[in-house]
Amino acid sequence: MPVTTAYAPGTFCWPELITTDVPAAKKFYSKLFAWKPEDSPIPDGSAYTMLLLQDQSVGAMYPIQKDQLKAGVPPHWNLYVAVKNADETAKKAASLGGTVVLPPFDVMEHGRMAVIQDPTGAHVSIWQPNGHPGAGRVNEVGALTWSELYTRDTKKAEAFYTDLFAWNPAPFEGPMPYTVFHVAKGDRGTGGMIAMPDEMKGIPPHWLPYFQVEDVDATVALATEHGGKVCNPAMDIPKVGRIAMLADPQGVAFAIIKVSM
């Protein structure tokens, strides 16, 4: 697969793990996806760990902050959407009923970001690239290939995201109601949305990353062998592929998929 050097505005471009145990997360995800962790010191004395696949970044991880723990924020995957202007996008999000949780700021020379909470409660980050466009590899084995919103108000969420990112929503024929968000009409889509089922009571709305694998069942077995948990067993989705939902040893949810050809 070619290296990705730019993302169209409105495209998911970067997955980032905020965890309570960086050393354990490094071991777990390196076993699962053959990622090579590479630490870079940050001002607070900790490190920002880039996750490399074939010498290209596919995401990152860093330790959860003390103020986040005090506020009850659990470890989680954070997903970024590429935008032309982070300040304008954050301002627009607020005007649409969203909350700017972390106002826009520069990440050294790499880009400018902000964290937004949509009107239904899910968080998403925005990224205005400068020196760093996002993941160098996507939509291949070991890399981010899909992002999925779980929400209790799909109508409100759809209105918010289509206005904010100019996404084109389209229904997808499957075992349950599902919406695909397209950056441009006719493309493969950048993400999807599903209503949270009753069994997810107590879990807040959130975006979930999907990572592509060669063999879903083998990856599920490997995950459980190394302390992970199966949230939803492997299953086939017609016209999509085989998927499973897992949680790492720190309780962070994510999904894996073998895409149908």
Burial track 95-110 (b if 16+ CB lie within 10 A, e otherwise): ebebebeeebeeeeee
Do residues 122 and 151 share a domain?
no
Report the pLDDT value the prediction gives residue 43, as an integer from 0 to 100. Answer: 76
Q: What is the domain-level CATH number for residue 171?
A: 3.10.180.10
pLDDT value for 261: 60
pTM: 0.95
Residue 180 · residue 95 · CB < 8 Å: no
Structure tokens at 203: 């879990």
164 domain residue, yes or no: yes
The answer to whether position 136 is within a domain reads no
Q: What is the pLDDT of residue 175?
A: 67
Looking at the structure, do residues 235 and 168 belong to the same domain, yes or no? yes
Q: Which residue among 105, 129, 153 closes a domain? A: 129
What's the pLDDT at 201?
86
User: Which stretches in the chain have pLDDT values below 70?
Assistant: 174-175, 261
Helix (H, G, I), strand (E, B) or coil at 244: strand
5 within a domain of the structure (yes/no):
no
pLDDT value of position 8? 96
**pLDDT on residue 32:** 97
In tens, the pLDDT along 46-71 reads: 899 999 999 999 999 999 988 888 88
DSSP characters for 41-100?
E-TTSSEEEEEEETTEEEEEEEEPPHHHHHTTPPPEEEEEEE-S-HHHHHHHHHHTT-EE
pLDDT in tens, 133-184: 999 999 999 999 999 999 999 999 999 999 999 999 999 876 678 999 999 8
What was the pLDDT predicted at 191? 97
Q: Are 57 and 135 spatial neighbours (Cβ–Cβ below 8 Å)?
A: yes
Range of the domain at 72: 12-129
Q: What are the residues facing 159 on neighbouring strands? A: none
Which strand (E) or helix (H) includes residue 225? helix 216-225
Host H or E run for residue 259: strand 253-259
Tell me, yes or no, whether 237 lies in a domain: yes
What are the residues whose beta carbons fall under 8 Å from the beta carbon of 71, sequence distance 6 or more?
none
- Cβ 123 vs Cβ 83: under 8 Å: no
